[in-house]
């Protein structure tokens, strides 16, 4: 698997000034309100050999996710649960600021934050993915590739993973004479909830959701909050060096709940889940 | 640039993609053309032109390749103790020697480079030297060159720059007059719009974006006039009533006259 190294984006002072002028008028450079997301597009089944796949476009950010299910040994301490492994990479074609090389801190963070949202919300009922307790379990791999990076990779990747999982069909494995065999049949993925993440950044005193790459280059602090279908908070990641006030965190959390609900409805609509 | 002024020998034009044969025979390979045996091959996508002096390709897309004497708008992205590194929207990053700004008695110990030009600042500069074996070198030693204090920043494809300037600057003059703005165009496709009010600037930005998107279409100046609500009567007066053009734009116009020939070819 290729990986990535990202260099810092330097925003022109003129552009920063434009951004400040826009913010002072409660607008953003692309005309959005502070709490408005970019248009979300989801395309399913783009990888024929995967058990589920999705291409998600969030504005100009574009991510491909693929689900592959195999069998393997369970993780230590989680003998009665299937294994879920989410990985993410940013391809060098994604942006002029990405170079081939070992994954940098930000890319590792991306994979971890996305994984955490899916794992901690318990989106997949992993207990249903056990063949021989303690010995053989289903292993669900979700691999993501960012193919165009224009900010907010966290949410775009998260939506791609969720969409790919919602549309995936798991192969049915059976134990025959102590060996795992693929029956050729498929089953529904045991989905329990639909986690939706929402990233907000602070620039000066304002909090904006779904930042573009330019806004990320100017941000002081970043926070990603994931909610489940009931609107409960299940994962959180604070990034970058700056801080948030309690009020700003409350604002971001509220946005995550309210906007999360809208995005969840959109994901369900676009993936046709449950129909 | 009327038809009568075209060279006596017929100029043949056609659309090419990289690897296409332009012509066979004893022609000189000019820009974006290489020779392979007896054939001249295009190296970029664009309009191939075979004239008296050889064959060349006017690119329709692609990145900016620096040329000596080009006026460019760049962004300071870093500096060492002796020079600034400038992003000129190209595959090459340019250098601006500190001596060019501070003079020959520049001392890295005494002079604070970031006070003069900080990372993120935009500058207008001229390309002093470039030969593909070394990164392009810039200079600010001219009137009107230097840091850009204000304005709205836009990036267009470098191949659209001649179209944005128009014949003898007609397009850009139309936009500037109708929107009460000043438009600074770098040959590398970076454009800075400054205006008295934000409405004018917004309108100018819209017009520039339209030129970029519809650069290949005919009657573009008319479309832009319609967008800007410029009455047709000003069409003839425009060049006369225009305020004196800045040196940058003048030079840029001279530099693109060659390319403008092709625009004419397209219309023919």
Q: What is the pLDDT of residues A105-126, one digit of tens each?
A: 999 999 999 999 999 999 999 9
Most confidently predicted of A210-219, B10-19, B158-167:
A210-219
Q: What confidence tier does B223 reach under pLDDT thresholds 50, 70, 90?
A: confident
To the nearest whole angstrom, how far is the Cα of A198 from the nearest Cα of chain B? 29
| Residue A261 is assigned to a structural domain of this protein | yes
A10, part of any domain: no
| Helix orientation angle between A153-166 and A105-120, rounded to the nearest 10 degrees | 40
pLDDT 10s digits, B8-51? 455 677 889 999 999 888 889 988 899 999 999 999 998 898 88
Measured CA to CA, the distance from residue B47 to residue B265 in angstroms comes to 10
- Which domains are delineated in chain B? 3-59 (2.40.50.100), 71-147 (2.40.50.140), 152-267 (3.30.1370.10)
A120 and A157 in contact (C-beta within 8 Å)? no
Who has greater pLDDT, B53 or B203? Answer: B203
pTM: predicted TM-score of the whole model, two decimal places: 0.81
Which residues in chain A are closer than 8 Å to B86, comparing Cβ atoms? none
- Reading the block at residue A74, the tokens are 């369970």
pLDDT at B11: 63
B37 and chain A: CB distance < 8 Å anywhere?
no
Residues of chain A contacting B120 with CB distance shorter than 8 Å: 10-13, 16
Q: Does the CB of A22 have a partner CB in chain B at under 8 Å?
A: no
Tokens linked to A132: 């021989």
Task: Please name the residues in contact with B126: beta carbons below 8 A apart, sequence gap of 6 or more.
Answer: B69, B70, B71, B72, B138, B139, B140, B142, B145
Q: Which residue has the higher pLDDT, B237 or A265?
A: A265
What is the residue range of A64's domain? 24-271
**Predicted pLDDT of residue B10:** 58
For residue A7, tell me if it sits in a domain: no
> Which of residues B260 and B33 earns the better pLDDT score?
B33
Check: CB of residue A196 under 8 Å from CB of residue A226.
yes
Distance CA A94, CA B73 (A): 25
For chain B, the straight-line distance linking the first and the last C-alpha, in angstroms and rounded, comes to: 12
Report yes or no on A254 lying in a domain: yes
DSSP B135-175: --EEE--STT-EE--S-EEEE--GGGHHHHH-GGGHHHHHH
Strands A40-44, A5-6: pairing is unpaired
Q: How far is A34 from A102, CA to CA, in rounded Å? A: 35
The pLDDT of residue B159: 87
A257 located within any domain: yes
Task: Judge whether A219 lies within some domain.
Answer: yes
Minimum-distance CB partner of B75 among A12, A17, A18: A12
Q: What is the ipTM of this complex?
A: 0.70
Kindly state the tokens that stand for A79. Answer: 């003998």
Give the domain CATH number at A211. Answer: 3.30.230.70
Which tokens hold the place of A96? 């002029």
Whether B150 sits inside 8 A of A14 (CB atoms) is yes
Q: How many domains does chain A have?
A: 1
Q: Which residue does chain B place closest to A96, by CA atoms?
A: B91
**Mutant choice from A12, A16, A17, A22 vs B, greatest count of B C-beta within 10 A:** A12
Tell me, yes or no, whether A202 lies in a domain.
Answer: yes
SS3 annotation, A81-136: CCEEEEEEEECHHHCCCEECCCCCHHHHHHHHHHHHHHHHCCCECHHHCEEECCCE
A11–B120: do the CB atoms touch at under 8 Å? Answer: yes
**What element of type H or E holds B126?**
strand B122-129
- Enter the tokens of residue B181: 């703005």
pLDDT exceeds 90 at position A8: no
* 169-228 of B, contacting A, C-beta below 8 A: 192
* Phi/psi at B122 (5° precision): -105, 140
CB B111 within 8 A of CB B83: no
pLDDT in tens, B245-256: 444 444 444 444
């Amino acid at each position: 698997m290729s990986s990535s190294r990202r260099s810092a984006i330097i925003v022109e002072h003129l552009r920063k000034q434009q951004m400040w002028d826009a913010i002072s008028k409660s607008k953003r450079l692309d005309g959005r309100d502070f709490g408005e997301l970019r248009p979300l597009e989801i395309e399913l089944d783009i990888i024929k050999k995967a058990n589920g796949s999705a291409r998600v476009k969030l504005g100009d950010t574009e991510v491909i996710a693929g689900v592959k299910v195999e069998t393997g040994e369970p993780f230590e301490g989680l003998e009665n649960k299937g294994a879920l492994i989410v990985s993410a990479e940013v391809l060098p074609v994604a942006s002029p600021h990405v170079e081939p090389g070992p994954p940098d801190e930000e890319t590792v963070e991306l994979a971890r934050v996305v994984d955490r949202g899916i794992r901690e919300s318990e989106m997949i009922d992993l207990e249903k993915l056990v063949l021989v307790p303690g010995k053989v379990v289903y292993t669900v791999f979700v691999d993501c590739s960012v193919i165009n990076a224009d900010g907010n990779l966290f949410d775009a990747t998260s939506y791609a993973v969720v969409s790919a999982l919602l549309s995936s069909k798991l192969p049915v494995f059976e134990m025959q004479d102590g060996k795992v065999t693929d029956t050729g049949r498929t089953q529904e993925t045991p989905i329990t909830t639909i986690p939706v993440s929402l990233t907000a950044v602070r620039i000066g005193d304002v909090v904006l959701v779904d930042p573009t790459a330019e806004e990320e280059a100017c941000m002081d602090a970043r926070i990603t909050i994931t909610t489940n279908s009931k609107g409960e908070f299940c994962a959180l990641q604070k990034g970058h060096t700056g801080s948030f006030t309690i009020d700003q965190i409350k604002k971001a959390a509220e946005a995550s709940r309210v906007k999360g609900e809208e995005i969840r409805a959109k994901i369900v609509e676009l993936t046709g889940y449950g129909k | 640039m009327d038809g009568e002024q075209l060279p006596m020998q017929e100029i043949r034009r056609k659309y090419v993609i990289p690897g296409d044969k332009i012509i066979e025979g004893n022609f000189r390979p000019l820009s974006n053309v290489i020779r392979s045996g007896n054939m001249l091959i295009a190296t970029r996508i664009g309009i191939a032109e075979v004239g008296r002096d050889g064959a060349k390709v006017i690119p329709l897309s692609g990145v900016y390749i620096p040329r000596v004497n080009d006026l460019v708008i760049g962004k300071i992205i870093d500096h060492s103790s002796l020079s600034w590194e400038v992003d000129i929207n190209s595959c090459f990053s340019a250098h601006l020697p500190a001596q060019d700004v501070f003079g020959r008695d520049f001392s890295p110990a005494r002079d604070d480079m970031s006070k003069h030009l900080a990372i993120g600042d935009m500058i207008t500069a001229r390309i002093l030297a470039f030969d593909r074996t070394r990164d392009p070198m810039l200079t600010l030693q001219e009137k009107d060159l230097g840091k850009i204090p204000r304005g709205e920043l836009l990036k267009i494809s470098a191949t659209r720059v001649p179209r944005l300037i128009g014949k003898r600057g007609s397009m850009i003059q139309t936009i500037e007059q109708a929107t009460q703005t000043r438009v600074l165009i770098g040959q590398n496709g970076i454009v800075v719009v400054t205006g008295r009010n934000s409405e004018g600037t917004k309108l100018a930005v819209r017009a520039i974006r339209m030129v970029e998107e519809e650069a290949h279409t005919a009657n573009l100046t008319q479309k832009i006039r319609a967008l800007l609500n410029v009455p047709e009567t000003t069409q003839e007066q425009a060049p006369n009533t225009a305020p004196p053009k800045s040196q940058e734009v003048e030079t840029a116009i001279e530099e693109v006259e060659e390319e403008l020939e092709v625009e004419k070819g397209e219309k023919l």
